[in-house]
Amino acid sequence: MQRDIFSEEHDLFRQQFRRFAETELEPQIERWNSEGRTDPATWRRCGEEGFLGATAPEEYGGADADFLYDAIIMEEVARIRAHGLMLSLHNNICRPYLEAYGSEDQKQRFLTGAITGETILAIAMTEPGTGSDLANVQTRAIRDGDHYVVNGAKTFISNGQIANLVIVVAKTDPDANPPHNGISLLLVEADTPGFERGRNLPKLGLKGQDTSELFFRDCRVPVENVLGEEGQGFKQLMQQLQQERLCIAVASIASCRRSLDDTIDYVKERRAFGQPIAGFQNTQFKLAELAADVEAGQAFVDKLLAAHVRGEDIVTEVSMAKFWTTDLQKKVAAECLQLHGGYGFMLEYPIAHDYADAAVQSIYAGTNEIMKVIIARRLGLDSR
Ligand SMILES: Cc1cc2nc3c(=O)[nH]c(=O)nc-3n(C[C@H](O)[C@H](O)[C@H](O)COP(=O)(O)OP(=O)(O)OC[C@H]3O[C@@H](n4cnc5c(N)ncnc54)[C@H](O)[C@@H]3O)c2cc1C
């Protein structure tokens, strides 16, 4: 079905990005998957081509375009399965913090580099003992003259090995009541003494993406690196989560489409009992059902994309889309794998990777259970 949220300019941009993705990104995916990370040269190429600043302000080198341009990048990255290259983490999850809360000095020092690709961004919220319960982070940033002294540990941080600027969630007032009032966001440059990268964690899927431990040991961060005001960190995080979760939903539906398209091709080729397996009613019904789910999901996501571009508060609906599309992605990957038979279990077949990559979608950016907690609260079901 023709999607009606994109203009002719968007379509041209898609063609341009697709050409770049197929010629410059796709040939590298296997290497990224085996090395467990992407490389700075690719980030700089993305910057040179303008793909790290489509939605960034013009005065810092961006194109000031609408969010749909970045949604196109997300869809095309998912289409070629370049999940290791987390452009949306950089463009749409981290960079907006610099744009929304950064001082002029911080923008000059970091935002311009994020747009050229010299500066690779990460955000460090999760800790070994604290994930969903973000207000309970234990990393401390205690003021000492014109510095904060940061101590603590983070884990599961995407881009953790390659980032040179990390937005760190830390307690600047550990005694604040309620605790979330004591949280601030600090910009930690990777060459700061006391900042250390731990292991690049081995994982089930997203093989080309570095997911790491980070450690802070008496790491002295200048006060001018606080993002916005001290104590505002939790509020800032909540303000940015709508977009983060929408990104996941956009990529999920695009991944569903890719799994489905490949499986439709496969069942037409593969033969059993003297006919293509596409001829069995089970195959037809399964794929018809999945195609219907994907169309419904796409319609919902497109509606949310349009509302997000208009600047509407759609936190409830985006939370719905995040859990629904990521659950769908897991279902599509599992059903499509089954239709591949034994080949579906072989890593030579992309559907096996789709199955592994889908698993994390319901976990990060707020687990799907947390999405339901948010929705229930917004439906007035929270008794507290
Ligand atoms: C590949 C990958 C990349 C990641 N990238 C980043 C990153 O870049 N930056 C970052 O900061 N973090 C990142 N994360 C961490 C991710 O955001 C957390 O794993 C996630 O928020 C869940 O936290 P947790 O793992 O501590 O699980 P927990 O919070 O311990 O949750 C465990 C289970 O309990 C459930 N649960 C918890 N609280 C409730 C509740 N109130 N009601 C019902 N159920 C509940 C959860 O839904 C889950 O099923 C990444 C994780 C992965 C796997």
Ligand 1 centre and the CA of 366: distance in Å? Answer: 6
Check pocket membership of 136 for ligand 1, CB cut-off 6 A: no
The count of C-alpha atoms lying within 13 angstroms of the C-alpha of 241, restricted to the half-sphere facing its C-beta, is 21
pLDDT digits (tens, 9 = 90+) for 146-196: 999 999 999 999 999 999 999 999 999 999 999 999 999 999 999 999 999
Check pocket membership of 123 for ligand 1, CB cut-off 6 A: yes
pLDDT for the residue numbered 280? 98
Check pocket membership of 158 for ligand 1, CB cut-off 6 A: yes
pLDDT digits (tens, 9 = 90+) for 294-305: 999 999 999 999
Question: Parallel, antiparallel, or unpaired for β 140-144 and 271-272?
Answer: unpaired
pLDDT for the residue numbered 383? 62
Cβ within 8 Å of residue 326, ≥6 positions away: 248, 249, 252, 358, 361, 362, 368
Q: Kindly list the averaged pLDDT for each block of 10 residues, start to end, along the chain of length 384.
A: 95 98 98 97 98 98 98 98 97 98 98 98 98 96 98 98 98 96 98 98 97 98 97 96 96 98 98 98 98 98 98 97 98 98 98 98 97 96 74
pLDDT for the residue numbered 73? 98
pLDDT for the residue numbered 382? 76
Ligand 1 centre and the CA of 3: distance in Å? Answer: 33
The values of phi and psi at residue 63, to 5°, are -110, -5
Distance CA 373, CA 47 (A): 38
Beta bridge mates, 219: 150
Sequence length of the chain is 384
Beta bridge mates, 271: 276
Q: Please, are residues 305 and 5 in contact by the beta-carbon 8 Å criterion? A: yes
pLDDT for the residue numbered 384? 61
Q: Please, are residues 208 and 29 in contact by the beta-carbon 8 Å criterion? A: yes
| 156: nearest Cα among 91, 86, 206, 214 | 214
Is 75 part of the annotated catalytic residue set? no
pLDDT for the residue numbered 84? 96
The count of C-alpha atoms lying within 13 angstroms of the C-alpha of 219, restricted to the half-sphere facing its C-beta, is 28
Out of 99, 244, 312, 348, which one is annotated catalytic? 244
CA distances from 90 to 48, 209, 226, 279, 309 (A): 15, 13, 19, 44, 19
Ligand 1 centre and the CA of 335: distance in Å? Answer: 26
Whether this model's pTM surpasses 0.85 = yes
